[in-house]
Structure 1
Amino acid sequence: MEKMKTRKPHTKSRKGCVSCKSRHVKCDETKPACVNCDKYGSKCEYPAAQARIVNDNTSPYARVSTPSSADGLNLNRSSPTLGGQTQDYALNIPQLRLLHHFSTVTASTLTSNIEAQDVCRSHIVKIAFNHPFLLHVILALAALHLSWLNQALSQVYLVQAEKHHDAALAEFRSDVQDIDESNFQAVFCFAFILFPYSCAVLIDPKNGPEYVLDTVLQNLALTRRVPPMVRQFYSSMLDSELGRLVPSDTQGIDFYQVPSDRVLVSLWKFSELTSKLYPPDINEAYELAISTLEVLFSVVKRQSERPSVSLVKLWTHQVTPRFMELLSARQPGALIIFAHYAVLLKTCQHYWFMDGYAGQILQVADALIPEEWRSWLDWPKEQIRGSA
């Protein structure tokens, strides 16, 4: 069994929860419960804050339905009413701009299917008006897209994206206690929008590969959490308007039938050579992750069109919790398999939010794997960078 690596300290979080501070890990400071506490089932408590004056309208956790002056672009207008009375209406221009951009531009970039694009720009937005957590994540993705398109205002939009993303997670944890007929569509849409945001969000490499991997895994943990929640409503979802979001290339896949014409030759060889080093639970986790990845490569190879994002995302939902634990522990075997998954992600790099994501994962794996293991990354390097 390979030796577990000692984790390097993370960048400190000044306002992190008590649990994260006691474990000496970086807290994302999400309230009422941070991602780490959600992941490990820990009780999330924050130190008592010092009293200070807070303008509720500037809070990033304020509901979208409450106009905010945080962006400094609100316009107050007086509108005449019956009897000569006037009433003030506050317009939140930044949020309206983000919603307009999502409906007219971003929605069409999330899928190549025309019918699915129509669902994104219309039906999902309509659902979001009754579910603030979904509306926030829509605005977050739109802001992230604008930061990608407009380099001059990139930082401005990144700040907006982060605020709406944090508010979305806070609203989701607060509002979604149970999944039922009234909210399963909103939860499904939330997961659909959250994945491209997680891929496109800027991760500063200056914080080191450990920090980057932690951020990637936190995002994956969020996207992995939603499908089990809505599984019982999957048939109802297919019969609804959201059924048009499900790509045809994700249907009818048999993950138990591994193709004979294998692409991952070196990865299978790695599994064979290291099988005697690991206990059964690790071997099973690795073998399932490799076989699932092989099946998805086979599906991509057979079809004439580019794969959908939903297809390549299936791997993150098929791997076991044990594999995710090994990946979180920086085990070389799990990192090598994850680097091969990056090759599959690269097949979707024509989507703006996937651009550079595969290279980032490969770079992290290359940095964290010991020197004597790095030859197993030759094939991913050839496919992603063009050379070993």
Structure 2
Amino acid sequence: MPSRRSYKATSRHGCLECRGRRIKCGKEQPECASCHNRNLMCKYQQPASVPLAWPKVKSRSSTPSLPPPAKASTSVVDPTFLAQYQDLMEPSALRSPSGELNIQDLELMTQWCTATYRSVSRNTTVECIWQAVVPREAMRHPFLLHGILALSALHLAATSNGDKREQYIRTSRAHKSQASLGLSRIAAMLKPSHCNAVFTLSNIMMIYSFALPEIVGQSPGRSALEDLYKVFVSTRESVDILANIIDGVGKGELKPLLQCDKAQPKMPDTSRLAIMSLTQLNANLARQDPCHDKEVYDTTIKHLGHSLDKVSRGGETMIIAFQWIFQVPSRYMELYRQREPFALVVLAHYVVIIHLLRRHWWMGEWSARLIQDIGQRLDANWRKSITWVLDATGYYIPPV
């Protein structure tokens, strides 16, 4: 008698009994016909659960806290990123101001990637750098990530009211503190791989310095000139760091930020006449007073002329404005602090560059307040030296 030919089941969804006997299963429910006829127990394998693409996130109100970073899965937290974080920050800095990275931090990062990045871009040509390249750098450099979150929180504060506004401001200051800490620590072991992160954070911190007084309001009894001097001092603290990395930045992905946009129409360059007038006035003052700091002013005016020229050729106004702060001699900073009339005249010409940034939420009315403050400190003769400034900005200073 010929042996019975075995049947290899073609379906993986038959009952366990039929699959074990290697016979075809009709897959009837709750038991197949084969098992029913043989009076056998019919069971089907339960389908495996399908893993979620994203894990469920519980509300912070129902979950006390996330697991500590040391226990985090390596598939979620990059060990290299975590190690760098631990090297640069104090143990307490491993947590954001309200604990671990949480829903609020995700909100701030979303704010950056959807809105805040545009406010630091001159146009669509470089928007992709601030939206994509900078966040990518932040994933490798925690101090930059804190800077991004700090500015995003301040941006949200600018459009919020009441307790929500105050909460964003507190969060912003806490992240800014961590960003400053990380930047100061990495300065001692600066590597080529840090260039982009340090450069972008330095710019973000300068924007922050302008934005904070604009959001929280000027300190009582302090003038716009005093607030600007404070911005200058805090900005110049990183001048040595930037001097060492600027060449590296110009060779990498951030190169477009340092270039002029030739596609933009060239602005009428009336600033050259203004710079010539300042140079001539500086020479006249030197002839009248042997103690006049002619060389200091010559250097300051020369850099200002280069800055205005770059702006007229479509350069990144924000970066140009910050570069001049780095370039001015320390002696000029002292003359500015002493409110020397010619130092204020030169500063008024610089304010024209700030005026071009007035539509950004973080700059606002800085230029108007500065021009008014400078105008009030100059007598009628000195005011004649800022005629071009008033024409370029459209501001009016009441007669003395």
What range describes the TM-score normalised by the shorter chain of this pair? 0.5 to 0.7
Deviations 1:98-156 (CA, angstroms, capped at 9, x unpaired):
11101221112211343532222222222223433222221111112112233454333
Alignment pair present for 1:355 and 2:368: no
8 Å contact 2:285–2:292 — kept in the other structure? no
Q: Which residue of 1 aligns with 2:49?
A: none
Matches within 5 A, 1:44-55: none
Change (3 A) 1:346 1:230: closer
Q: 2:221 aligns with which of 193, 197, 208?
A: 208
| TM-score when normalising by structure 1 | 0.66
Deviations 1:52-96 (CA, angstroms, capped at 9, x unpaired):
xxxxxxxxx9766425437xxxxxxxxxxxxxxxxxxx6622222
Distance 2:256 2:272 in 1: 32
8 Å contact 1:99–1:138 — kept in the other structure? yes
Q: Which residue of 1 aligns with 2:128?
A: 118
Alignment pair present for 1:248 and 2:257: no
Alignment pair present for 1:69 and 2:98: yes
Q: Which residue of 1 aligns with 2:191?
A: 180
Alignment pair present for 1:140 and 2:150: yes
**Secondary structure of 1:196's aligned partner:** helix
Residue identity in the other structure for 2:251: D
Deviations 1:215-274 (CA, angstroms, capped at 9, x unpaired):
322322333343532434434323322223323259xxxxxxx99951346534542442
Change (3 A) 1:294 1:240: closer
Residue identity in the other structure for 2:257: L
8 Å contact 2:259–2:316 — kept in the other structure? no
Distance 1:271 1:150 in 2: 47
| TM-score when normalising by structure 2 | 0.64
Q: Which residue of 1 aligns with 2:233?
A: 221
Greater Rg over alpha carbons, structure = 2
Alignment pair present for 1:312 and 2:321: yes
Distance 1:98 1:123 in 2: 17
8 Å contact 1:249–1:308 — kept in the other structure? no
Q: Which residue of 1 aligns with 2:305?
A: 294
Change (3 A) 1:182 1:312: closer
Alignment pair present for 1:94 and 2:104: yes
Change (3 A) 1:288 1:107: same
Change (3 A) 1:266 1:186: same
Per-residue deviation at 1:280? 6.0
Alignment pair present for 1:198 and 2:209: yes
Q: 2:138 aligns with which of 128, 138, 144?
A: 128
Q: Which residue of 2 aligns with 1:236?
A: 248
Distance 2:91 2:380 in 1: 48
Per-residue deviation at 1:327? 1.2
Distance 1:261 1:375 in 2: 17
Distance 2:184 2:292 in 1: 32
Distance 2:254 2:319 in 1: 14
Change (3 A) 1:249 1:272: farther
Residue identity in the other structure for 1:201: L
State the number of aligned residues.
Answer: 300
Distance 2:199 2:301 in 1: 27
Q: Any gaps of 5 or more consecutive residues in structure 1?
A: 1-60, 71-89, 251-257
Residue identity in the other structure for 2:221: G
Change (3 A) 1:62 1:376: farther
Residue identity in the other structure for 1:144: L
Distance 1:62 1:378 in 2: 55
8 Å contact 1:309–1:348 — kept in the other structure? yes
Alignment pair present for 1:338 and 2:339: no
Deviations 1:24-56 (CA, angstroms, capped at 9, x unpaired):
xxxxxxxxxxxxxxxxxxxxxxxxxxxxxxxxx
Residue identity in the other structure for 1:325: E
Residue identity in the other structure for 2:286: S
Distance 1:363 1:196 in 2: 22
Deviations 1:172-209 (CA, angstroms, capped at 9, x unpaired):
22343232224232211211212222222225445234
Q: Which residue of 2 aligns with 1:103?
A: 113
Deviations 1:292-342 (CA, angstroms, capped at 9, x unpaired):
3234334444x4x58532233332232212111211222222122111211
8 Å contact 2:229–2:337 — kept in the other structure? yes
Distance 1:245 1:63 in 2: 34
Per-residue deviation at 1:281? 6.9
Distance 2:354 2:396 in 1: 18
Distance 1:177 1:225 in 2: 14
In terms of mean alpha carbon deviation, does 134-143 or 168-177 score higher?
168-177
Q: Which residue of 2 aligns with 1:322?
A: 331
Distance 1:328 1:122 in 2: 40
Distance 1:261 1:182 in 2: 39
**Secondary structure of 1:354's aligned partner:** coil
Change (3 A) 1:105 1:270: same
Q: Any gaps of 5 or more consecutive residues in structure 2?
A: 1-89, 263-268
Change (3 A) 1:191 1:94: same
Change (3 A) 1:385 1:92: same
Two-structure CA RMSD over aligned residues (Å): 3.4
